[in-house]
Structure 1
Amino acid sequence: MKTAISIGSAYYDGSNWEDLVELVKLADRIGVEYAWSAEAWGMDAVSPLAYLAPLTKTIRLGTGIMQTSARTPATAAMTSLALARLTNNRFVLGLGVSGPQVVEGLHGASFEKPLGRLREYINIVRQGISGERIQNDGPQYVLPRPGGEGKALRLGMPPNPSIPIYLATLGPKMLELTGELADGWVGTSFIPEASDDVISHLRIGAERAGRSLADLDLQVNATIEVGDDVEALIKKYKKSAAFTLGAMGSPETNFYNAAFSRAGWEPMAKRVQTLWVSGDKQAAVEAVDDDFVLATQMIGNESMVLERLRATAAAGITTIRIVPLGRSVREQQAHLEHVRSLIQTL
């Protein structure tokens, strides 16, 4: 199993950037395979990778994720070609549709028909990185724009069709699209014991395209913390669980809540969301089930963490994506090295 790290966050403001750089440089030295830069309404996903490119040698640098609503597909293709050049072909294009609160609130774009929009977006990006003339008949993107002076253009950089495209998806149809069109999956909200709800849809998409699930790199995020006080760890991570179930999206559209509901936790997930939205955040935290925390986080003593890692690998996941923990960069580096050593035992 491979290791990846996440850098930044949805709302990362650039603080302690120098420490983050040192962390990525260490990850590169010890053989971590991927570093993914986040993007929502904080630092963008692209600029950090351009900065890190000359400071690293082997680690793959990916956008985790680049919001499709924030850039035209042609711009995403140009950016991908440029970053592939700057990283000596270590760049991975991670794409995602985000959610209506960000898409409509921050970018002023419509969130309607995200599945069809993402399919067209990927097709246009592949045209761009393959050196083809960029053209699309819609219905989401019409290129060139009709009725004007535009013409189908090729991008000026040398083609590089081998740039990998990963998708961050959660819903069944989106997972099928990932299996059909992507090189990898940047997954979240994954529970090994309920993995068939995810893996089956990825497999359907892959087989639709005439390939197998083994052709995809399947990555999931994981919070990994080793400690003997399991009760304290459960209490600690109930807060983030309640935030995910209650606040990561609107009351009408919370993709994470929906994913965990499909995984068998619907009554609790809805109860936590209702309490959070009503303003009673403490009650929402208390409503999170202990077993849910243990199912969704890799916490506890070392044997417990290793058991969760083995279960995740057995479910078909090929790469674990972590956020190194610690108050200082030295603590984060120690955590990363420890987690990396655990993963390498699998």
Structure 2
Amino acid sequence: MKLGWSMGYWGAGPRPGIEQVVAEADRLGLDSIWTAESYGSDALTPLAWYGARTTRPRLGTGIVQMSARTPTAVGMAAMTLDHLSGGRLILGLGTSGPQVVEGWYGQEYGKPLARTRQYVDIVRKVVARERLTYQGADYRMPIEGGTGLGKPLRSTIRPLRDDIPIFLGAQGPKNVALAAEIADGWLTLFFGPKLNDHYRKILAEGFARPGARRDKDGFEVAVSVDVVVDDDIEAAADKVRPGLALYIGGMGAAEVNFHRNQFVRMGYEQECEKITELYLAGRKDEAIAAVSTKMVEEVALIGPKAKIADDLAGWRNTIATSLILQRGDIPTLRTMAELME
């Protein structure tokens, strides 16, 4: 199992000291460095900026939101970044949720599975430098109507790699199976050993589909995980609780929240209902307090170094091929690099 690190989203601006963490990740020989985007900082710009200060890690977008850019624009950006980084790009893509897609990007959420399939197909055609003609339900090139002057075009540059790896960010069973069918890897949030058998079966379903791109031996599963090294387990959990409360109670509508569903699958339905109710009522401190330490331990590695080493054994026996540390500092990177040797 490999080790990666994600710089995550910005807060009000760039995270202080991030250049030093990037440099340490490079020095330690981490397998990958990732960025993220929602409706603030974008994923591509920081990846290029900070990635230029590294030499070894693969550089991943976790994730580029598909509604933010046309598939041809993403194909162009992917080829450009792959050239500039010497072939280190991992293109992580995802649909995001209806709140962001319709509220921020002003697009209909529609049918995300069908749209994802079309999007990935077009990106691959761009990267392979095919002359682009495509007639799908969501994307049509050249477009019908208009001036009538549209032409089937192909990229003016030649890709460094004509098959850049694509990972899909997914949590729902249908999206995960789609990732196994059409992608090179799966990016997952709020995964833990308890969900391993559940997702192993779903991935197997995707691998078994006609024309599936890979099998389980060539497919990567990159798991995002919070790590807090602290002799006080409750203090460590306190650093993770606010993020879980936000994702469970505030990221999405009460009736549609893919993040909350992860914890429901692990048996925390009543806790999730309480957290959501409190969060949406504006009682955020109470929602945070309602996230139990046990819930934190399902999806995060917290506590003294020796406890984390013991807990890590359970993750090694899962489908995860990489653990992606979320916003970890230099001491945490060093500890995890040592534990995963």
TM-score interval, normalised by the smaller of the two chains = over 0.9
Distance 2:47 2:239 in 1: 32
Q: Give the residue type in structure 2 aligned to 1:6.
A: S
SS of alignment partner, residue 108 of structure 2: coil
Instruction: Give the equivalent residue in structure 1 for 2:233.
Output: 230
Cα distance, 1:49 vs structure 2: 2.1
Cα distance, 1:241 vs structure 2: 2.1
Q: 230-239 or 78-87, which moves further after superposition?
A: 230-239
Instruction: Give the equivalent residue in structure 2 for 1:124.
Output: 122
Distance 2:93 2:336 in 1: 27
Q: Check whether the contact 2:226–2:240 (CA below 8 A) recurs between aligned residues.
A: no
Q: Check whether the contact 1:73–1:125 (CA below 8 A) recurs between aligned residues.
A: yes
Q: Check whether the contact 2:177–2:202 (CA below 8 A) recurs between aligned residues.
A: yes
SS of alignment partner, residue 109 of structure 2: coil
Instruction: Give the equivalent residue in structure 2 for 1:190.
Output: 191
Q: Check whether the contact 2:71–2:123 (CA below 8 A) recurs between aligned residues.
A: yes
Instruction: Give the equivalent residue in structure 2 for 1:329.
Output: none
Q: Give the residue type in structure 2 aligned to 1:152.
A: P
Q: Check whether the contact 2:124–2:163 (CA below 8 A) recurs between aligned residues.
A: no
Instruction: Give the equivalent residue in structure 2 for 1:166.
Output: 167
SS of alignment partner, residue 90 of structure 2: strand
Q: Check whether the contact 1:222–1:321 (CA below 8 A) recurs between aligned residues.
A: yes
Cα distance, 1:61 vs structure 2: 0.9
Q: 32-41 or 50-59, which moves further after superposition?
A: 50-59
Cα distance, 1:324 vs structure 2: 4.3
Instruction: Give the equivalent residue in structure 1 for 2:290.
Output: 287
Q: Check whether the contact 1:276–1:284 (CA below 8 A) recurs between aligned residues.
A: yes
SS of alignment partner, residue 83 of structure 1: helix
Instruction: Give the equivalent residue in structure 1 for 2:324.
Output: 321
Residue pairs, 1:80-159, within 5 angstroms: 80-147=78-145, 148-159=148-159
Residue 267 of structure 1: which of 261, 267, 270 is its match? 270
Return closer, same or farther for 1:126/1:270 CA change in 2, 3 Å cut-off.
Answer: same
Question: 1:278-326 deviations in whole A, cap 9, x for unaligned?
Answer: 222233233323321221221122232123222112012110101344x
Cα distance, 1:190 vs structure 2: 0.5
Question: 1:103-148 deviations in whole A, cap 9, x for unaligned?
Answer: 1111111111111101100000000001112222111112210122
Q: Check whether the contact 1:261–1:269 (CA below 8 A) recurs between aligned residues.
A: yes
Q: Check whether the contact 1:191–1:295 (CA below 8 A) recurs between aligned residues.
A: yes
Distance 1:12 1:185 in 2: 26
Normalised to the residue count of structure 2, the TM-score between the two structures is 0.93
Instruction: Give the equivalent residue in structure 2 for 1:339.
Output: 336
SS of alignment partner, residue 267 of structure 2: helix
Instruction: Give the equivalent residue in structure 1 for 2:20.
Output: 22
Identify, as 1 or 2, the structure richer in helix.
Answer: 1
CA RMSD of aligned residues (A): 1.7
SS of alignment partner, residue 208 of structure 2: helix
Instruction: Give the equivalent residue in structure 2 for 1:79.
Output: 77
Cα distance, 1:29 vs structure 2: 1.5
Q: Give the residue type in structure 2 aligned to 1:93.
A: L
Cα distance, 1:182 vs structure 2: 1.0
Structure 2 unpaired stretches of 5+: none
Instruction: Give the equivalent residue in structure 1 for 2:250.
Output: 247
Instruction: Give the equivalent residue in structure 2 for 1:35.
Output: 33
Q: Give the residue type in structure 1 aligned to 2:263.
A: F
Q: Give the residue type in structure 1 aligned to 2:180.
A: G
Cα distance, 1:210 vs structure 2: 6.7
Q: Give the residue type in structure 1 aligned to 2:13.
A: G
- Percent of matched pairs sharing the same residue: 36
Distance 2:244 2:144 in 1: 47
Distance 1:248 1:310 in 2: 31
Q: Check whether the contact 1:194–1:264 (CA below 8 A) recurs between aligned residues.
A: no
Instruction: Give the equivalent residue in structure 1 for 2:178.
Output: 177
Q: Give the residue type in structure 1 aligned to 2:191.
A: F
Question: 1:166-214 deviations in whole A, cap 9, x for unaligned?
Answer: 1110000100010011111111110211222222212211222174212
Residue 64 of structure 2: which of 63, 66, 74 is its match? 66
Q: Check whether the contact 1:324–1:333 (CA below 8 A) recurs between aligned residues.
A: no
Q: Check whether the contact 1:67–1:98 (CA below 8 A) recurs between aligned residues.
A: yes
Q: Check whether the contact 2:90–2:165 (CA below 8 A) recurs between aligned residues.
A: yes
- Number of positions where the alignment pairs a residue of Structure 1 with one of Structure 2: 336
Normalised to the residue count of structure 1, the TM-score between the two structures is 0.92
